[in-house]
Amino acid sequence: MNHTLVLTAALAGLHDDAVEAAAKVTGSAPHWLSPGTACEFAVAEPSIVSTVRDALAGKRVDANVVPTARRRKRLLIADMDSTIIGCECIDEIADFAGLKPQIAAITERSMRGEIPFEGALRERVALLKGLPESTLERVFAERVRLNEGARLLVRTMADHGAVTALISGGFTYFTSRVAEAAGFATHQANELLVEAGALAGRVREPILGREAKREALLRLARQHNMDATDTLAIGDGANDLAMINEAGLGVAYHAKPVVAAAAHARLDHSDLSAALYLQGYRDTDLSLN
């Protein structure tokens, strides 16, 4: 058996009926990684995941198949907005300018892959011109929260020797703070330009977009003497597609349809800690502090 089927759910949400349904399809017994939350089955063919997902229809359980070889990844690259944190920072900035519906609509189209990211970012940032720079502090303090499992994912992988990087099409003001809160070793994003204490309506060029995220993954892999097979990329929007496709394990987290369809694994119900169970981590391996 050269592949592993992994079932994950929100905390204690993986019930016996779901496990039994998967066992019936696979013809093998479950091995528990986290009681009530994650278990795995040895399987021969990755295509079995479609049958398992059909068997689990209507249940809040994620089913994914991963190669068993080189399962634990040595590099984690994660998107920030709506992945590591639960909001889109630019939409929250816009809320303070009374422009959230207008800007959020552009964000949604960009994340679905309907319009190019770079042009969409320039358009949205231009609408924020003149907003006090202090608004960024308010957004971070009042709106930005780590998603469930974010710190656990990052800290556990780091403690087991992985390189961790937060790579965002958002803004360095937020990635610097979120990276510290979650435990990432490094971060990269776009820089909002400020003039006389107010947003200038521009970002520093070149814009970090889809291809820049892919290039960051490849650059970090080279720097640490690993190949793409050793990497994990996780994100939710079209801007993350290139790095997700390039990674050894590309994970769509509560993602837009175009991303969920293209990723190696999709997490629609589980929290971010499920990315650890996809790699074969068990509860005894987790960094809980």
What positions carry a catalytic annotation?
Answer: 79, 81
Q: State how far the Cα of 131 lies from the Cα of 1, in Å rounded to an integer.
A: 57
Sign of the four-CA dihedral 25, 28, 29, 31:
negative
* Tokens read off for 82: 């709506």
Residue 13, exposed/middle/buried by CB under 10 A (0-12, 13-18, 19+)? middle
Provide CB contacts within 8 A for 149, sequence distance 6+: 270, 271, 272, 273, 274, 275
Q: Tokens 């970002």 label which residue?
A: 203
Q: How big is the chain by its Cα radius of gyration, in Å? A: 19
Name the residue type at position 164. T
Q: Extract the tokens encoding 31.
A: 């091995």
Encoded amino acid at 46, one letter:
P
Residues 6 or more apart whose CB falls under 8 angstroms from that of 4 comprise: 40, 41, 42, 43, 65, 66, 67, 68, 71, 280
- Angstrom distance (rounded) from CA 92 to CA 4: 40
**Euclidean distance between CA atoms 89 and 99, whole angstroms:** 13
Distance CA 27, CA 25 (A): 6
Tokens standing for 146?
A: 């780590």
SS3 at position 244: helix
